[in-house]
Structure 1
Amino acid sequence: MKYGYREIRKIHADSLRSLCIANNWYTRGNNEEYGHLLYDMAEGKENITTDDIVEIAQDITEHSDTDQEITSICFDIARIAVTFFEEA
């Protein structure tokens, strides 16, 4: 690292839940699956990567009745991520 800092991305379960509600996503998932999405795949991660965002989007697609492209879902998920920087 050139400057000794690193970027960290987090997704809060409440933010992802609100996004799902606003877009009418995850209507085909049960409570256990929804909890896994919100707390294991999102909030439980120390640093959300691009692969994590794609994995979340795929899970949403599998549990939703949507024609929205996965790249568009990824974009929406990335927008709710909170980004901060810390010294490495």
Structure 2
Amino acid sequence: MKYGYREIRKIGAMELRNLCIKRNWYTCGNNEEYSHLLGDLAEDKENITTDDIIEIAQDIYEHSSKESMIDFEFEDICAEVALTSFTYFEKTK
């Protein structure tokens, strides 16, 4: 790396949960599926990639009512998920 830093992107479970509540998403999933979304697909990831955002958005879409998705294209869901992420930088060794 040219400058000795790397970018890390994370998504917190609470931020993703709040997004789902705000948009009335993920109303068709059970507790186990919701925990998988918030933990395995989001909070537990070391560094969120574009593919991770797509996977999270797909999981949200698959577990949401069609009525709650009527105003959203898939790309909109991806953008909303990306906006919940936060980025920080750390010095590489």
- For Structure 1 versus Structure 2, the TM-score category normalised by the shorter chain is over 0.9
Q: Which has the larger radius of gyration?
A: 2
| Offset of residue 70 of structure 1 | 1.3
Q: State yes or no: 1:78 paired with 2:82.
A: yes
Tell me the TM-score normalized by structure 1.
0.97
SS in 2 for 1:27: coil
Deviations along 1:39-82, one digit per CA (max 9) or x if unpaired, are 11000000000000000000000001213211101111111101
> Identity of paired residues, percent?
66
Segments ≥4 residues shifted beyond 3 Å: none
**5+ residue gaps in structure 2?**
none
SS in 2 for 1:7: strand
Distance 1:36 1:26 in 2: 12
Q: State yes or no: 1:17 paired with 2:21.
A: no
RMSD of Structure 2 on Structure 1 (CA): 0.7
Map 1:19-38 onto structure 2 (within 5 A).
19-38=19-38
Name the stretch that deviates more: 59-68 or 23-32. Answer: 59-68
